[in-house]
C-alpha cells in the first residue's frame, strides 16, 4: 500500500470491526458441509461422488457409486449401504436431495423464469446481480454457437422483465447516472471451441465474430457485459480481445463493459497499469472486476507438471497483499478503471473502503461483488453501510453446473478460506483483520535436488515463444536446397542417389535432400562402428553419459530450429513438434542418469568372497527408426545404445532423414568420436536387410510397423556362420489402441481427450486412439458430441499455428488410409467424414473420419490404419468393454474414462496394455514418468524412457573373487568391488 501506508491501518481495523459487527453472530454454515469438512478424506470422496451424481442412472447406480467412494475413507459407513439394491431407492433419493440442496445454495436457478425470481429475491435484499450462464465446456463450434445464442436470448428476454421491477437508487444509479439493471458475465473460451493462445490472431477473429453480436445486442438493450477471466494461459489473449473490440468505432465510447482481473497472479499490477493507459487512449472508462482468482490449485499443478514458473502467488497472504495494492490502484484511477472489488474477505473489503475514504471517492463510484450463496451476512452488512453489492449469480442445468458447484464446495471448505476461518473455525476477529503484509510467509520448501528433470515444453501462450517458432520456420524454409550426405566413420560420404524430402503440407515445397545409402555404404557403416567399438566400450561410463548431457544441452539450445524442421519435413503441428524435441532432450538426460546408476559398484559380498555385478557393452547397434516421432525415437534409441558403449549405425526413416542429419550433427559437435554415430539414411527395403543380417551387428533397436518389425525379428534371430553371438532385437511396433468410455464418465473431458488422442497429428501416433468402446447408454451422447468436436478441428498446413489436423506423411500413406476408409464403409456406418476443401491439391491431407456400429472383430477394429480414422464400438457393460478392448493382437496403449472407483481398479488389473491412461488422453507419454512400450504384437516388452530400458543394450556380467589366502580373510571384504 502506498497511499498512506501504515497510517491507514487503524481506519482499516475500525471499518473491519464495523463490518463484523454488521455481520452479527458468525454462524450460518450448512451442517452437511460442517460434517464433510471434519475429514479431508471423506470430503474429497464425497465431492467426487457429487461430481458424477447427475449422470448416474437409477438408484442402484447411485448406491454403488456412493459405496465405492466411501469404502476407502469410511468403510463402516460404506458397509451400511446395501449391495443388493434393497433400499437403493431411498438412498439415491437422499443423495440426490442433499446434492440438489447444495447446488441450490450456489446455483441460483435452472431456467430464465427461476432466474428472474432469484433476481427479485436479491433485489428485495437490495443486492444487484450479474448473471453467469453455466455451460458444459465447449468442445465444438456447435456448442459455442449455442452458448452465444443463449446469451443473445437472455439479452432479448430479460430487460423488459427487469424494467418492471421497482427502482432502487442504491442498485440502479451511480455517481454518473443510471446503471444497467441487466448485467451479464461471460467466458470467451465458450465462444470458440478452438480458443488457443498458440493462435492469437485466429482465436481473436473467431471469438470476435461471436462476441460482437452479444455486445451489440447488450448495448442496444442497455445491458452490461463483463468478461470473466479463466486460466492464466488465456489471460493475455482475453485482455487483447477485450481491448481490440472496445477500440472498434461501434464500441469505443461504450462504458458498460468490464473484465475480471485476478490478484493471485504475480503480474496483475502491470496489467492494470497497461489497462489504465489503454483506457486513457480509448477515451472511455471500463469496469475492472478485481478477484483473487478461482483456479489457484490447477494453475500450480499445470505449472508443476510442465516445469513452468508458477504464475500465482504460492502463499495466500501474498495474494491478499496484491489484492490491496491492485484495489488501491483501481481506486486511485477510478475515473479510468471503475473498481468492482470481488472478495469475501472482510480485511480486503475494509482496506478498500479505507483507501476509498482516504482518496475521497464517492461510494457509488465503486462496487463490491460476491458469489451467490456465499458470505450472505457480509453482503447484508455492506448494504447496511450504503454500499452497492453485486452478486455473481450462476444459473443453468445441474449437470453442466457440477464443475462450478464442486469449485465452490472446495473453495468454501478450503483450509485457506476466509469464510471457513471466520464462520466455522471462529478465528478471532483481530487475526482475520490482520494486515497481510505482517503475516509471515510460509517459505516454500527448497525444491529437492533431483537427478533428472524433464525439459519443459514450450509455453505457446507467451509471445516470445511464438515469435521464436515463427522466425525459426522462416529461416528454415530458406534452406530447402540443402544437401545432407551420409556420415560414416566421422566422414561425409556423398552418394549417387538422393532421397528428396518434401513438405507434406505443401507438396511443391522441398525440405532438403539426403544421401541414399547403398549396400556398400551400409557395410562400410557397420565396419566403421565396429572399428570404434573397443575404444568406445572402454571409455568410462561417466564420460559416455557426459556426452549425452552435452547433446541434450545442444538440442535444447537449437530447439526452435529442430521444431521448425519437424513442422516442415513431417507435418507436425507446432506443439507436437516442440514436444518431440523436448522428448529427445529428455531421453539424453534420462539415459545419462540411468547409465551412471548402472555403472555404480554393485554386488553382494560374503566374508572371503567378493561379487561384482557389472554391465558390458554389446557391440555394434543398428538403430532403425520411424518418421512419426522423427527426433525423439531416433535420438532415444541412439542415445541408449551410445551411452551403453555400443557404436551406432543410425538408419532414419526415409521421410524424416533431414531432421536425423541434425541429430547426427549434434552428436558430432558434442564430441562423439568418429564411427560412434554413423548417419545412414537410405531405403529401408534395400539397406535394412543388409544391416539386420550383418554378422558384425550385435543388436538392432527397431521402432516401426508390425510387418517390418516381425520380419526383422525373424531375420536377426538366424545365426549365420560368421557370427559369434546371439543378436539382441528390440522391436517397438504398432497398436490398435482403445479408449473405454464408461457410462458415468465426464463427457466434457472424454470428448476432448478422445478427440486429441484420435486426431492429434492426424492419428499418426503409435499411441493414438483408434477405437472407442462406449458402455451402454452413453454411446449416443458421445457420438453426437464427438462428431461435432471432430468437425470443429481446423485442418491446415502444419506451419499454421491454428493447425489441429495437419497432413499425413506421404502419398503412399494417404492412399493406404483412403483405401482403409473405403473398405470400412462396407462393414460399418460412416458417421462422420470431414472435408478437406482447397487443401486437397496442396498436400497429403485426410480429414477425420468416424465410423459407428463397428463390429469389434472387423478389420476396421483389428488392423492399425495409422491415420485420422476412429471406430466407435458399443458394449453392453463394462466387462464386455474390457473384453473388446483386449480383443486384438496388439497391446500398446489404452484408456478409460470412468468415475467408478471399482471400474478404474478393475481396468488397472484387466486392461492389458503397456501404457494404460485413466481419465486422460492416451498420447503424450513423458520420459521418466511414463516409460513407453507395449507387448503382444505391439512390441517385445521394452519400455523406452523407463528404468529397464538401458539393460537391453547391455550384457550383464558377474565377477567373483575368492579373497581367502591360506585362511587369511581381509577385514572389510569389499575393496575388490571398487570401480
Q: Which residues contact 29 (CB under 8 A, 6 or more apart)?
A: 423, 424
Interface residue with ligand NAD, options 345, 703, 757, 789 (CB under 6 A): 703
Report if residue 624 touches ligand NAD, rule: CB under 6 A: yes
Where does this chain touch ligand NAD (CB under 6 A) — which range of 9-17, 299-307, 360-368, 651-659? Answer: 651-659
| 871 strand-pairing partners | 771, 851
Least Å distance, CB 710 to ligand NAD, is 10
Written as nine digits, the cell of 516 is 541414399
Contact 353, 15 (CB under 8 A): yes
**Is residue 880 classed as helix, strand or coil in its secondary structure?**
helix
Residue 864's Cβ-side half-sphere holds a number of Cα atoms within 13 Å equal to 24
Nearer to ligand NAD, 192 or 759 (CB): 759
Nearer to ligand NAD, 170 or 683 (CB): 683
Of 134, 38, 48, the C-alpha closest to 95 is 48
Nearer to ligand NAD, 84 or 685 (CB): 685
Interface residue with ligand NAD, options 258, 688, 901, 931 (CB under 6 A): 688
d(CA 618, CA 953): 7
**Is residue 123 classed as helix, strand or coil in its secondary structure?**
helix
Least Å distance, CB 634 to ligand NAD, is 9
Q: Which residues contact 739 (CB under 8 A, 6 or more apart)?
A: 750, 753, 754, 757, 769, 771, 772, 773, 894, 895, 896, 897, 922
Report if residue 705 touches ligand NAD, rule: CB under 6 A: yes
Interface residue with ligand NAD, options 653, 817, 869, 925 (CB under 6 A): 653
Where does this chain touch ligand NAD (CB under 6 A) — which range of 142-150, 241-249, 626-634, 880-888? Answer: 626-634
Q: How many CB atoms lie within 10 A of CB 212?
A: 14
Nearer to ligand NAD, 44 or 715 (CB): 715
d(CA 705, CA 939): 10
Least Å distance, CB 735 to ligand NAD, is 6
Q: What is the DSSP letter of 423?
A: I
Interface residue with ligand NAD, options 291, 294, 708, 756 (CB under 6 A): 708
Least Å distance, CB 313 to ligand NAD, is 41
**Is residue 424 classed as helix, strand or coil in its secondary structure?**
helix
Site mask for ligand NAD (CB under 6 A), range 710-749, x = bound: -xx-------------------xxxx--------------
d(CA 954, CA 728): 10
Where does this chain touch ligand NAD (CB under 6 A) — which range of 57-65, 196-204, 462-470, 681-689? Answer: 681-689
d(CA 429, CA 720): 86
Where does this chain touch ligand NAD (CB under 6 A) — which range of 232-240, 343-351, 622-630, 917-925? Answer: 622-630
Report if residue 693 touches ligand NAD, rule: CB under 6 A: no
Rg, Å, the chain Cα set: 32
Written as nine digits, the cell of 601 is 559398484
Report if residue 614 touches ligand NAD, rule: CB under 6 A: no
Nearer to ligand NAD, 517 or 672 (CB): 517
Report if residue 526 touches ligand NAD, rule: CB under 6 A: no
Report if residue 704 touches ligand NAD, rule: CB under 6 A: yes
Of 56, 705, 29, the C-alpha closest to 421 is 29
Report if residue 577 touches ligand NAD, rule: CB under 6 A: no
* Chain centre to alpha carbon of residue 136: 18
CA angle 208, 214, 217 (to 5 degrees): 135
Q: Which of the residues 570, 766, 769, 977 is marked catalytic? A: 766
Report if residue 180 touches ligand NAD, rule: CB under 6 A: no
Nearer to ligand NAD, 396 or 760 (CB): 760
Site residues (CB under 6 A) for ligand NAD, limited to 938-957: 938-939
Strands (E) located in 478-554: 483-484, 486-488, 491-493, 498-502, 510-515
| 512 strand-pairing partners | 501
Residues listed for the chain: 979
| 954 strand-pairing partners | 617
Phi, psi of 31 (to 5 degrees): -60, -30
Report if residue 60 touches ligand NAD, rule: CB under 6 A: no
Report if residue 628 touches ligand NAD, rule: CB under 6 A: yes
Instruction: Give me the helix-helix angle, 235-246 and 268-282, nearest 10°.
Output: 10
Q: Which of the residues 68, 324, 576, 732 is marked catalytic? A: 732
Nearer to ligand NAD, 745 or 913 (CB): 913
Long-range contacts of 35-43 (CB under 8 A, 24+ apart): 36/413, 37/413, 37/420, 37/424, 39/73, 39/74, 41/72, 41/73, 41/74, 42/70, 42/73, 42/74, 43/413
Interface residue with ligand NAD, options 654, 742, 746, 748 (CB under 6 A): 654
Nearer to ligand NAD, 482 or 711 (CB): 711
Interface residue with ligand NAD, options 684, 776, 887, 970 (CB under 6 A): 684
Nearer to ligand NAD, 325 or 732 (CB): 732
Identify whether 670 is a catalytic site residue.
no
Contact 834, 791 (CB under 8 A): yes
d(CA 555, CA 122): 60
Of 649, 740, 733, the C-alpha closest to 697 is 649
Report if residue 701 touches ligand NAD, rule: CB under 6 A: no
Contact 730, 886 (CB under 8 A): no
Report if residue 627 touches ligand NAD, rule: CB under 6 A: yes
Nearer to ligand NAD, 143 or 864 (CB): 864
Contact 290, 263 (CB under 8 A): yes
Least Å distance, CB 708 to ligand NAD, is 4
Report if residue 651 touches ligand NAD, rule: CB under 6 A: yes
Nearer to ligand NAD, 52 or 653 (CB): 653
Residue nearest to ligand NAD (CB): 688
Report if residue 977 touches ligand NAD, rule: CB under 6 A: no
Identify whether 732 is a catalytic site residue.
yes
Report if residue 630 touches ligand NAD, rule: CB under 6 A: no
Site residues (CB under 6 A) for ligand NAD, limited to 888-927: 892
d(CA 58, CA 759): 34
Report if residue 503 touches ligand NAD, rule: CB under 6 A: no
Where does this chain touch ligand NAD (CB under 6 A) — which range of 258-266, 366-374, 688-696, 738-746? Answer: 688-696
Site residues (CB under 6 A) for ligand NAD, limited to 845-874: 864, 866
d(CA 917, CA 892): 11
Site mask for ligand NAD (CB under 6 A), range 452-491, x = bound: ----------------------------------------
Least Å distance, CB 527 to ligand NAD, is 19
d(CA 495, CA 520): 11
Report if residue 135 touches ligand NAD, rule: CB under 6 A: no
Nearer to ligand NAD, 628 or 792 (CB): 628
**Is residue 210 classed as helix, strand or coil in its secondary structure?**
helix
Interface residue with ligand NAD, options 134, 227, 766, 796 (CB under 6 A): 766
Phi, psi of 814 (to 5 degrees): -60, -50
Where does this chain touch ligand NAD (CB under 6 A) — which range of 287-295, 315-323, 698-706, 797-805? Answer: 698-706
Written as nine digits, the cell of 319 is 495474494
Nearer to ligand NAD, 516 or 907 (CB): 516
Tell me the number of residues near ligand NAD by CB under 6 A.
33
Q: Which residue intervals of 173-315 are DSSP H helices? A: 200-221, 235-246, 268-282, 296-306
Residues catalogued as catalytic: 732, 766
Task: Catalog residues that contact ligand NAD under the rule CB under 6 A.
Answer: 624-629, 633, 651, 653-654, 684-685, 688-689, 692, 703-705, 708, 711-712, 732-735, 766, 864, 866, 892, 933-934, 938-939
Amino acid at each position: 500500500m502506498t497511499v498512506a501506508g501504515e497510517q491507514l491501518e487503524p481506519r482499516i481495523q475500525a471499518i473491519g470491526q464495523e463490518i463484523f459487527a454488521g455481520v452479527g453472530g458468525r454462524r450460518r454454515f450448512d451442517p452437511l458441509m460442517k460434517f464433510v469438512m471434519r475429514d479431508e478424506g471423506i470430503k474429497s470422496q464425497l465431492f467426487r461422488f457429487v461430481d458424477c451424481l447427475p449422470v448416474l442412472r437409477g438408484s442402484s447406480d447411485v448406491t454403488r457409486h456412493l459405496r465405492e467412494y466411501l469404502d476407502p475413507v469410511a468403510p463402516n459407513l460404506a458397509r451400511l449401504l446395501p449391495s443388493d439394491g434393497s433400499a437403493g431407492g431411498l438412498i439415491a433419493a437422499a443423495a440426490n436431495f442433499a446434492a440438489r440442496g447444495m447446488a441450490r445454495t450456489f446455483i441460483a436457478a435452472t431456467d430464465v423464469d427461476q432466474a428472474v425470481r432469484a433476481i427479485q429475491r436479491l433485489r428485495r435484499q437490495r443486492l444487484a446481480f450479474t448473471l453467469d450462464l453455466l455451460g458444459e465446456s465447449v468442445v465444438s463450434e456447435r456448442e459455442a454457437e449455442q452458448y452465444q445464442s443463449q446469451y443473445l436470448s437472455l439479452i432479448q428476454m430479460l430487460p423488459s422483465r427487469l424494467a418492471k421491477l421497482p427502482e432502487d437508487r442504491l442498485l440502479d444509479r451511480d455517481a454518473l447516472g443510471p446503471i444497467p439493471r441487466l448485467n451479464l458475465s461471460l467466458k470467451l473460451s465458450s465462444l470458440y471451441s478452438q480458443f488457443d493462445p498458440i493462435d492469437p490472431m485466429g482465436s481473436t477473429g473467431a471469438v470476435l465474430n461471436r462476441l460482437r453480436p452479444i455486445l451489440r445486442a447488450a448495448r442496444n438493450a442497455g445491458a452490461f457485459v463483463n468478461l470473466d477471466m479463466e486460466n492464466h494461459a488465456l489471460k493475455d489473449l482475453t485482455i487483447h480481445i477485450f481491448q481490440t473490440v472496445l477500440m472498434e468505432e461501434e464500441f469505443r465510447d461504450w462504458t458498460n463493459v468490464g473484465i475480471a482481473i485476478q490478484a493471485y497472479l504475480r503480474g496483475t499490477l502491470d496489467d492494470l497499469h497497461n489497462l489504465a493507459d489503454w483506457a486513457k487512449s480509448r477515451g472511455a472508462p471500463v469496469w475492472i472486476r478485481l478477484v483473487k482468482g478461482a483456479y489457484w490449485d490447477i494453475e500450480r499443478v499445470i505449472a508443476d507438471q510442465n516445469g513452468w514458473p508458477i504464475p500465482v502467488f504460492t502463499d495466500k497472504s501474498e495474494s491478499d497483499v496484491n489484492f490491496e495494492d491492485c484495489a488501491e490502484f483501481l481506486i486511485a484511477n477510478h475515473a479510468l478503471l471503475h473498481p468492482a472489488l470481488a472478495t469475501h474477505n472482510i480485511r480486503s473489503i475494509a482496506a478498500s473502503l479505507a483507501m476509498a475514504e482516504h482518496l475521497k471517492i464517492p461510494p457509488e463510484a465503486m462496487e463490491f461483488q460476491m458469489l451467490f450463496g456465499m458470505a450472505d451476512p457480509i453482503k447484508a452488512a455492506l448494504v447496511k453501510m450504503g454500499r452497492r453489492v453485486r452478486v455473481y449469480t450462476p444459473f443453468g442445468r445441474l449437470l453442466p453446473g457440477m464443475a462450478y458447484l464442486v469449485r465452490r464446495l472446495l473453495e468454501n471448505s478450503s483450509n485457506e478460506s476466509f469464510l471457513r476461518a471466520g464462520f466455522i473455525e471462529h478465528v478471532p476477529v483481530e487475526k482475520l483483520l490482520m494486515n497481510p503484509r505482517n503475516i509471515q510467509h510460509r517459505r516454500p520448501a527448497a525444491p529437492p535436488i533431483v537427478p533428472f528433470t524433464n525439459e519443459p515444453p514450450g509455453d505457446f501462450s507467451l509471445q516470445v515463444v511464438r515469435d521464436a517458432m515463427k522466425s525459426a520456420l522462416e529461416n528454415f524454409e530458406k534452406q530447402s536446397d540443402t544437401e545432407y550426405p551420409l556420415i560414416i566413420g566421422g566422414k561425409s560420404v556423398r552418394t549417387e542417389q538422393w532421397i528428396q524430402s518434401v513438405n507434406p503440407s505443401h507438396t511443391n515445397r522441398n525440405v532438403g535432400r539426403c544421401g541414399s545409402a547403398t549396400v556398400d555404404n551400409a557395410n562400410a557403416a557397420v565396419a566403421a562402428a565396429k572399428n570404434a567399438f573397443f575404444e568406445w566400450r572402454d571409455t568410462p561410463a561417466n564420460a559416455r553419459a557426459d556426452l549425452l548431457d552435452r547433446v541434450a544441452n545442444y538440442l535444447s539450445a537449437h530447439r526452435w530450429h529442430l521444431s521448425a524442421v519437424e513442422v516442415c519435413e513431417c507435418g507436425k503441428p507446432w506443439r507436437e513438434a516442440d514436444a518431440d524435441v523436448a522428448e529427445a532432450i529428455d531421453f539424453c538426460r534420462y539415459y545419462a542418469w540411468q547409465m551412471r546408476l548402472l555403472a555404480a559398484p554393485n554386488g553382494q559380498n560374503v566374508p572371503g568372497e567378493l561379487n561384482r555385478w557389472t554391465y558390458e557393452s554389446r557391440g555394434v547397434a543398428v538403430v532403425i527408426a520411424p518418421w512419426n516421432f522423427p527426433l525423439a525415437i531416433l535420438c532415444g534409441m541412439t542415445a541408449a545404445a551410445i551411452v551403453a558403449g555400443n557404436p551406432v549405425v543410425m538408419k532414419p526413416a526415409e521421410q524424416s532423414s533431414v531432421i536425423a542429419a541434425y541429430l547426427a550433427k549434434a552428436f558430432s559437435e558434442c564430441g562423439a568420436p568418429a564411427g560412434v554415430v554413423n548417419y545412414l539414411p537410405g531405403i529401408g527395403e534395400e539397406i535394412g536387410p543388409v544391416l539386420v543380417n550383418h554378422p558384425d551387428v550385435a543388436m538392432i533397436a527397431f521402432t516401426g510397423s508390425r510387418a517390418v518389425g516381425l520380419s526383422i525379428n525373424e531375420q536377426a534371430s538366424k545365426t549365420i556362420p560368421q557370427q559369434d553371438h546371439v543378436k539382441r532385437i528390440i522391436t517397438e511396433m504398432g497398436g490398435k489402441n482403445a479408449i473405454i468410455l464408461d457410462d458415468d464418465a465426464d463427457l466434457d473431458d472424454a470428448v476432448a481427450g478422445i478427440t486429441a488422442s484420435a486426431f492429434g497429428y492426424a492419428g499418426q501416433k503409435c499411441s493414438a486412439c483408434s477405437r472407442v468402446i462406449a458402455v451402454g447408454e452413453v454411446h449416443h451422447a458421445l457420438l453426437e458430441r464427438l462428431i461435432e468436436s471432430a468437425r470443429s478441428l481446423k485442418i491446415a498446413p502444419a506451419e499454421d499455428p491454428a493447425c489441429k489436423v495437419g497432413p499425413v506423411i506421404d502419398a503412399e500413406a494417404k492412399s493406404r488410409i483412403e483405401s482403409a476408409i473405403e473398405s470400412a464403409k462396407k462393414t460399418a456406418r460412416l458417421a462422420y467424414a470431414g472435408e478437406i476443401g482447397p487443401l486437397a491439391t496442396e498436400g497429403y491431407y485426410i480429414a477425420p473420419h468416424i465410423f459407428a456400429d463397428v463390429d469389434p472383430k472387423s478389420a476396421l477394429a483389428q488392423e492399425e490404419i495409422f491415420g485420422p480414422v476412429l471406430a466407435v464400438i458399443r458394449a453392453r457393460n463394462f466387462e464386455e468393454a474390457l473384453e473388446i478392448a483386449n480383443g486384438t493382437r496388439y497391446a500398446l496403449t489404452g484408456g478409460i474414462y470412468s468415475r467408478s472407483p471399482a471400474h478404474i481398479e478393475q481396468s488397472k488389473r484387466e486392461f492389458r496394455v503397456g501404457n494404460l491412461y485413466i481419465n486422460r488422453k492416451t498420447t503424450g507419454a513423458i520420459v521418466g514418468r511414463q516409460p513407453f512400450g507395449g507387448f503382444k504384437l505391439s512390441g517385445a516388452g521394452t519400455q523406452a524412457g523407463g528404468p529397464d530400458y538401458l539393460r537391453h543394450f547391455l550384457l550383464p556380467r558377474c565377477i567373483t573373487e575368492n579373497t581367502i589366502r591360506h585362511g587369511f580373510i581381509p577385514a572389510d571384504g569389499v575393496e575388490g568391488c571398487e570401480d
